[in-house]
Amino acid sequence: MRFLHLFPVMTAVVLMVLSGPARALDVDLELVLAVDVSGSIEKDEAELQREGFVQAFRNEAVIRAVTSGEHKRIAVTYVEWAGTGHQRMGIDWRIIDGVKAAHGFADELSGLPFASALWTSISGAIDFGMERLRASPHRSKRRVIDISGDGANNHGEAVLPARDRAVRQGVTINGLPIVNGRPSPYGMPQLPNLDWYFEDCVIGGPGAFIVVADGFADFGRAIKRKLIREIAGLGGLRHRPSLLHQARLEARPPCDAGEQMLLEMDDT
């Protein structure tokens, strides 16, 4: 009788041994959602981003896209990034295979704490996304890193080598540039034609594309459309709201535009 108090503990251990690690599954897509939380994004804007993802995974059209593939499921992980020293995994790999799983993922997202950090390292986000893909227990024919952000790479390694390493390993990088004209809280101006920068310097791989958000208030619409295209495997270069950037006065930004802007600010 004196050992009865150990029964619940022993039962839990037995169940853990029997269940083992998470079962590897064949999925239609392994998707890394890499979300910018750098200092240029204020808390209310970060909340708009987060709510956009939450509502997207509760959306019937997104869930229908998930369950329309060969395996009728995808694997998703959610990370937030800023400078080279700030890549934070918010939610580890989750299988989305229907309404219950999608809503559960949305609920997890809505409960995550917010933490911002300095600088914008898209190269660091890509490298971290590659780490997460290597850590995935699942198998798929398509592996995608989805980069959303409101600025150019200005910290750590240049963006092109990181992008090209990922593409050489068969990974597609898609982009969601958040185009807005507001300077960062630290006085750094926004890069003109950020969508062109994402096209030329960030995305790459089979079927790579961008969807442009016309400001943070437009993020929810943009991410829903982007997820449907990503999940369904619909490539193509871009989708831009029809009124965005009607007049193009600036040249296409170079891929070191973020680093150059910092140097110009140091010289003033």
The list of the chain residues with pLDDT below 50 reads 1-21, 241-247
Q: How many CA atoms lie within 13 A of 107 on its CB side?
A: 7
The whole-number pLDDT of residue 205 equals 96
Strand 210-211 and strand 238-239: pairing? Answer: parallel
Say how far apart CA 219 and CA 110 lie, in whole Å. 16
Tell me the per-residue pLDDT of 187-212, one tens digit each, with 9 for 90 and over.
Answer: 666 788 899 999 999 999 999 999 99
The whole-number pLDDT of residue 264 equals 67
The whole-number pLDDT of residue 89 equals 92
For residue 142, the tally of other CB atoms under 10 A from its CB is 20
Say how far apart CA 221 and CA 112 lie, in whole Å. 21
Domains (range + CATH), the chain = 23-242+252-267 (3.40.50.410)
Whole-prediction pTM value? 0.85
The whole-number pLDDT of residue 137 equals 97
The whole-number pLDDT of residue 191 equals 83
